Chain A
């Protein structure tokens, strides 16, 4: 079991994640040549880049500024979500060991603290989703499920590191499984917003620029 999860399963998960995402992107780009002439006719690289960039910086867009609380939580959530897996010691060591790829890692105590911060932000987003009527009304079971899929890898890593609930080895197994499931889900669910963001923002930035206006 351990061998399978840490071996072939992870390989499959990464392959599905990368190939799935590339396939989705390629399919959209190929389709767009035929169906989205309006974009190519008036493509404005500067506006597209600005439309992406401004929304990547906290409080830079009007939309972020007008929702300061949600903005703060959203950025904390996403920064931790990306930084933790990249710089956790457990991950960098594995990479180094398996591929000889190495980059700096964050100290364990910091990883631990940031995982807690991440979990707190995730909890806040969940509460927001359940409490605000305008969010609840567009929320369905899939949104809760994806929330769980995203949170589980982090929760399990925290529990494993602190030897809580289950024996650390079992917890680690859950951690790897959960991480793999998240990667597999990403290209095919709403989690795809991770890469679609860049395309939708580029389009709208360019589309409004041809009208002399902005979307940030």
Chain B
């Protein structure tokens, strides 16, 4: 009891509480119906990239985690939990591709998610994800950024952007706007240009938009840590901001899981009536798609280099944007080379499910399992990859280095800023021809 902090005893009652909360009819059916046919194996990129070792097949991963927890009614050891952690976070990104290939449609990812919740309740979870939970509690965002710093960054970006777009604004807390735009905290923290580019697109489209001074964080990594109390808080922050500002829609930045959390899962964590967000949720991809299709944004010319499209699992499979993403790319680029398979059947790049923020400890696995995506990208022959998601962006960037892909990664806002025609009233004085 002196030098070393002894391992905390396992609170089995708490685990049982989580199991009880998740004791749904669908889970009962999934547990009972699985015929151990193994047909889910080849759908999982972890299995495919790890020499098809059987330990990586989806159903086995569930049995070794949730299955054991259920069998022991929560009375599990710390040793077991440490092993289960390496499976639940280290061998599954909750990408849900396997549920499209199981003859019974068993949702493996949801079961892994329940296992994560059980483990997280005992503080067994990749360290960095737990720190992020804390950061959400302390500041409302994953990067421990204060709202003041955020607002200052936006002001700075607006001012700097006025060199490109006349009178560029990044309105904070404006009421009654069409869109309330929310971002990934790494944008204000590390890539403030991203916010500026989005602002330019909105300006050119003539959008009425705003960002909330609090509740601007779109990411919800607590969904992946399994701490749903925090996940609910993060979602509620966003809903509250949108309600307070009387925004017509919430628009999520080019980030995958943020969209899934706000639109599909958040309403359940926060107990919204009808399972719908209090203010409709849309995504930058859908909004930009609409701008280009309707002609609100006109292009000087189209993008001509060969380019492929990365389908983020949480946009293209657990979200409804597979079609719009590719269609938007086809509207703005001439040489689009889709990966195979793609769209809702696309493989995870291994950046999702919390993998990127899990940090260096998990990088090696991420590179091994990401090889499937690297090969897919190479096979397209594209020089550019359009990636509408921050986690995919980091992962594909790492894959680019690891496997020498020689590609460039771009986002929609980046390409649009290059290509869009700036209407005369927004051209900076002295720059007009």
Contact = CB atoms under 8 A, between A and B. Distances in A.
Interface in B291-312: none
Contact of A214 (B28, B37, B59, B344): B344
Given A70-B39, A137-B54, A215-B100, A192 B33 contact: yes
B150 interface: no
Interface string A56-70: 000000111011001
A193 B25 contact: no
B38 interface: yes
A49 to B, nearest CB: 13
Given A36-B24, A211-B319, A212-B320, A63 B101 contact: yes
Interface in B2-32: 23-26, 28-30, 32
Contact of A196 (B36, B104, B322): B104
A204 B38 contact: no
A31 B24 contact: yes
Given A28-B25, A137-B57, A138-B57, A210 B264 contact: yes
Contacts of B104: 193, 196-197, 200-201, 204
B107 A204 contact: yes
A67 B39 contact: yes
Contact of A136 (B54, B100, B106): B54
Contacts of B268: 37-38
A98 interface: no
A210 B344 CA distance: 13
Interface residues of A, number: 51
A163 B328 CA distance: 69
Given A63-B103, A204-B105, A41 B24 contact: no
Interface in A157-216: 190, 192-193, 196-197, 199-201, 203-205, 207-208, 210-216
A44 interface: no
Interface residues of B, number: 51
Contacts of B105: 51, 200-201, 203-205, 215
Interface stretch (A8-16, A83-91, A99-107, A127-135): A127-135
Nearest to A28: B25
Given A134-B52, A201-B104, A212-B323, 14 more contacts: A62-B100, A62-B101, A63-B43, A134-B60, A190-B36, A193-B33, A200-B29, A203-B29, A203-B105, A204-B107, A207-B107, A211-B319, A212-B321, A213-B317
Interface of B: 23-26, 28-30, 32-39, 41-43, 47, 52-55, 57, 59-60, 63, 99-107, 264, 268, 274-276, 316-323, 344-345
Interface of A: 28-29, 31-32, 35-39, 41-42, 51, 55, 62-64, 66-67, 70, 74, 129, 132-140, 143, 190, 192-193, 196-197, 199-201, 203-205, 207-208, 210-216
